[in-house]
């Protein structure tokens, strides 16, 4: 069993900053003309600092919008605001700026693995760039002013996406999550607020945004994740010690289905993929490209699969395409 | 009314949800409400719906509507969203206790970015690069941030 890095538990780290333009009403009371103007203004403020693309929700297809969501680059709320919701995304697809979501501007940076500080540093550059060109609503007492008081102050949500099959299978997850809640952290499913936790993937993030510095928020999230990571490793050890044959059988059956199925639903994929990923952790299954393996988590989602096929697939066709796509990738980069 | 969850304390948080025409009611005491709202998929909006009871009837000198955007206290308590930055000062008697409760704090502790603080002292958002650098320099000197000032001075010289 390898423990040389935390990538087998921490999938990605994300920092999000909420900002609003001074003098403009917030989203719920914003006039249409101003809302229409905002995306272009933000886009221009970025200058030529990086190669950015502007996506207006009303101009892109339903599939393209949901692919961006499956990549965690935009939110469901942004898609919901089809009239003026827009996203400005850089070429590397680690920085995305949502315009006309809950707040005027939401900057986010998402990085692979346990790397909140890197994500924060990247975002600070973008934030400074924008704050030189536009005046953000800010008060000395309350910090950055946001549409909802739950984001006021730093406007910062610092979140870590974690893969926790050990705790979940061992039924220790609830206990662990309750402990985390007492540390003022929130736990959500893979696609944020209100989403369910499929594939044993959970997002841990800070709840408080005021009264702490950005660094303190990041440290607190990292510390909480540290507890969860330790618990997850312990659970994986116990899982192995309790019934190694049963565990191996379960993992190899999952691998068998994923490499041979003719049709595969999204939820079945998430469930079985989690077991394969666990098998890689235990070294039952070998891979030469863990990064590509992890991209399956996005690429096998419903809209991404349709997009990859290049066709508008119905549900049956999509499940068939998913099965063959997953089998092809697994056979290229994994072996028993 | 008794709390639906612990069946011991008095329920002070009441939520009514209507989904597909079916209405469900939940009545919780403060403790159970807190426990449940920070659970797996806590419902942020329900945090706010509870505050009406928590705060009781607003006092006479509390404004219930924002003078700038017209957002009412009821609108806010229902959605959790304010209409503009002015809502925070106009309805502060309502909002500040909520911030205190949700955030556990009422004070921002981080320094504003330099450029931000400079802009805050005036009302000229349309500064050109030269004017902006000048103002940043003034600010840096005032704050005795001489390293930053030296960099800014060089940039200004370049433009001059």
Residue B122 has what pLDDT?
37
- The pLDDT of residue A58 is above 90: yes
Which whole-number Å values give the CA distances from A266 to A190, A199, A263, A305, in the listed order? 14, 10, 10, 10
* Helices and strands, counts by H and E, chain B: 9, 2
Count CB-CB contacts under 10 A for residue B110: 18
Q: What is the pLDDT of residues A226-256, one digit of tens each?
A: 999 999 999 999 999 999 999 999 999 999 9
Q: What is the pLDDT of residues A7-52, one digit of tens each?
A: 899 999 999 999 999 999 999 899 999 999 999 999 999 988 788 9
Work out the minimum CA distance from A136 to partner chain B, whole angstroms: 8
Residue A197 has what pLDDT?
62
Residue B138 has what pLDDT?
79
State the average pLDDT for chain A. 92
- The closest alpha carbon to A43, from A94, A92, A99, belongs to A99
| Among B residues 95-154, those touching chain A with beta carbons less than 8 Å apart | 95, 98-99, 102-110, 112-113, 115-116, 119-120, 125, 132
Q: Is B18 left (phi over 0), alpha (psi -120 to 50) or beta?
A: beta
Given a cut of 70, the residues of chain B with pLDDT beneath it are 12-25, 30, 34-63, 112-128, 143
Answer whether B105 sits within 8 Å of A152, measured CB to CB.
no
Q: Does the ipTM surpass 0.85?
A: no
Q: Counting Cβ atoms within 10 Å, is residue B24 exposed (0-12), middle (13-18) or buried (19+)? A: exposed
Residue A140 has what pLDDT?
86
Contact residues on chain A for B105, CB-CB shorter than 8 A: 153, 208, 210-212
Answer whether A211 sits within 8 Å of B69, measured CB to CB.
no
Ranges A99-103, A290-294, A318-322: which has the least confidence: A290-294
What percent of chain A stands above pLDDT 70?
96
A186 within 8 A of B42, measured Cβ to Cβ: yes
| Beta-ladder partners of A12 | A112, A161
Does the pTM exceed 0.90? no
Q: Which of B44, B84, B115 sits opposite A25 (nearest CB)?
A: B84
A61-67 average pLDDT score: 95
Contact residues on chain B for A149, CB-CB shorter than 8 A: 80, 82, 95, 98-99, 102-103
Count CB-CB contacts under 10 A for residue A268: 17
Answer whether A208 sits within 8 Å of B105, measured CB to CB.
yes
Residue B146 has what pLDDT?
81
Inform me whether the C-beta atom of residue A193 falls under 8 Å from chain B C-beta atoms.
yes
Q: Measured between alpha carbons, how far is A74 from A100 in angstroms, rounded to an integer?
A: 12
Tell me which chain B residue has its CA closest to the CA of residue A185. B38
Q: Counting Cβ atoms within 10 Å, is residue A259 exposed (0-12), middle (13-18) or buried (19+)? A: middle
Residue B101 has what pLDDT?
86
Contact residues on chain B for A128, CB-CB shorter than 8 A: 113, 115
> Within its chain, how far is the Cα of A228 from the centroid?
18
Residue A2 has what pLDDT?
45
Q: What is the pLDDT of residues A211-220, one digit of tens each?
A: 999 999 999 9
Tell me which chain A residue has its CA closest to the CA of residue B85. A145
A87 versus B22: which is more confidently predicted?
A87
A127 within 8 A of A17, measured Cβ to Cβ: yes
Residue B125 has what pLDDT?
44
Residue B129 has what pLDDT?
72
Q: What is the pLDDT of residues A173-206, one digit of tens each?
A: 888 888 888 888 988 876 655 555 678 899 999 9
Answer whether A211 sits within 8 Å of B113, measured CB to CB.
no
Q: What is the pLDDT of residues A122-181, one digit of tens each?
A: 999 999 999 888 999 999 889 999 999 999 999 999 999 999 999 988 878 888 888 888
Inform me whether the C-beta atom of residue A154 falls under 8 Å from chain B C-beta atoms.
yes
Residue B14 has what pLDDT?
63
Any residues with CB less than 8 A from the CB of A124 and at least 6 apart, and which? none
Answer whether A29 sits within 8 Å of B115, measured CB to CB.
no
Any residues with CB less than 8 A from the CB of A152 and at least 6 apart, and which? A142, A143, A144, A145, A146, A209, A210, B99, B103
Work out the minimum CA distance from A263 to partner chain B, whole angstroms: 31
């Amino acid at each position: 069993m390898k423990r040389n890095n935390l990538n087998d538990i921490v999938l990605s780290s994300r920092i999000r900053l909420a900002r609003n333009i001074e003098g403009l009403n917030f989203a719920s009371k914003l006039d249409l003309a101003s809302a229409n103007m905002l995306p272009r203004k933000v886009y221009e403020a970025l200058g030529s600092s990086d190669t950015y693309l502007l996506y207006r929700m009303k101009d892109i297809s339903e599939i393209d919008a949901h692919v961006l969501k499956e990549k965690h680059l935009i939110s469901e709320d942004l898609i919901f605001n089809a009239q003026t919701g827009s996203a400005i995304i850089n070429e590397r697809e680690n920085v995305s700026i949502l315009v006309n979501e809950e707040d005027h501007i939401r900057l986010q940076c998402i990085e692979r693995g346990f790397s909140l500080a890197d994500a924060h540093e990247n975002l600070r550059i973008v934030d400074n760039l924008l704050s030189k060109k536009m005046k953000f609503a800010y008060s000395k007492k309350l910090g950055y002013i946001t549409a909802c008081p739950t984001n006021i102050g730093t406007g910062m949500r610092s979140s870590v996406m974690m893969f926790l099959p050990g705790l979940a299978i061992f039924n220790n997850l609830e206990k662990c999550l309750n402990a985390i809640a007492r540390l003022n952290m929130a736990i959500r499913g893979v696609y944020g607020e209100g989403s369910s936790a499929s594939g044993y993937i959970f997002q841990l993030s800070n709840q408080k945004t005021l009264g702490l510095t950005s660094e303190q928020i990041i440290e607190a999230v990292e510390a909480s994740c540290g507890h969860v990571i330790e618990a997850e490793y312990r659970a994986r050890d116990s899982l192995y010690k309790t019934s190694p044959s049963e565990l191996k059988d379960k993992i190899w059956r999952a691998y068998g289905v994923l490499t041979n199925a003719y049709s595969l639903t999204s939820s079945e994929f998430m469930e079985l993929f989690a077991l394969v990923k666990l098998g890689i952790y235990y070294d039952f299954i070998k891979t030469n490209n863990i990064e590509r393996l992890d991209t399956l988590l996005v690429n096998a989602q419903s809209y991404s699969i349709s997009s990859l096929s290049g066709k508008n697939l119905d549900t049956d066709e999509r499940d068939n395409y998913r099965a063959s796509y997953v089998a092809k990738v697994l056979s290229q980069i994994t072996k028993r | 009314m008794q709390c639906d969850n612990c069946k011991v304390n008095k329920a002070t948080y009441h939520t009514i949800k209507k989904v597909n025409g079916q209405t469900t009611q939940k009545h919780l005491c403060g403790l159970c409400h807190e426990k449940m709202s920070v659970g797996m998929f806590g419902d942020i909006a329900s945090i706010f719906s509870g505050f009406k009871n928590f705060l009781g009837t607003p006092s006479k000198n509390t404004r219930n509507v924002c003078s700038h955007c017209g957002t009412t206290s009821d609108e806010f308590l229902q959605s959790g969203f304010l209409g503009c930055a002015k809502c925070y000062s106009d309805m502060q008697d309502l909002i500040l206790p909520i911030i205190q409760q949700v955030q556990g704090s009422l004070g921002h502790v981080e320094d504003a970015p330099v450029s931000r603080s400079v802009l805050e002292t005036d009302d000229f958002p349309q500064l050109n690069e030269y004017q902006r650098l000048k103002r940043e320099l003034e600010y840096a000197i005032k704050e005795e941030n001489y390293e930053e000032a030296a960099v800014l001075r060089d940039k200004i010289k370049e433009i001059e």
